[in-house]
Amino acid sequence: MKLEAIPRLSLGYLPTPIEKMDRLSAELGISLSVKRDDFTGFGGGGNKVRKLEYLMADAVAQGVKVLITTGGHQSNHARMTAAAARKYGMKPILVLRGNRPDLYQGNLLLDHLFGAEIDFLDPDAYFTEINPRMAHHAAQAEARGEKAYIIPLGGASALGAMGYVNAVKELSEQYAAAGTPAPRYLVAPVGSGGTLAGLHIGCSLYWPDTEVVGIAVTGSAVPFSERIAVMANAGADLLDLEKRWTADDIRIENDYIGPGYSIPSDEGNAAIKLAGNREGMLLDPVYTGKAFAGIMGCVAKGSIEKGSSVLFIHCGGSPALFPYAGLLTSDLAG
Task: Given the residues 33, 75, 204, 225, select the one marked as catalytic.
Answer: 75
What's the helix, strand, coil split of the chain in %, to 5?
A: 50, 15, 35
Residue pair 228/235 in contact by the 8 Å Cβ criterion: no
The sheet with strand 309-314 has its strands ordered as 18-20, 31-36, 309-314, 185-190, 211-216, 251-253
Residue 102 DSSP label: S
Nearest to 317 by CA among 277, 258, 278, 275: 275
Characterize 126-154 residue by residue with b for buried, 16 or more Cβ atoms within 10 angstroms of its Cβ, and e for exposed. beeebeebbeebbeebeeeeeebbbbbbb
- What is the Cβ-side half-sphere exposure of residue 9, based on CA atoms within 13 angstroms? 19
Nearest to 47 by CA among 320, 331, 333, 316: 316
**Catalytic residue status for 265:** no
Helices assigned H by DSSP within 62-98: 76-87
Residue pair 35/16 in contact by the 8 Å Cβ criterion: yes
Torsion 123-124-125-130 (CA) sign:
positive
Distance CA 206, CA 171 (A): 9
The sheet with strand 66-72 has its strands ordered as 117-121, 91-97, 66-72, 148-150
Distance CA 308, CA 171 (A): 18
> ∠268-274-276 over CA atoms, to 5°?
105
Residues contacting 240, CB < 8 A, separation 6+: 1
Could you give the residue numbers annotated as active site?
A: 75
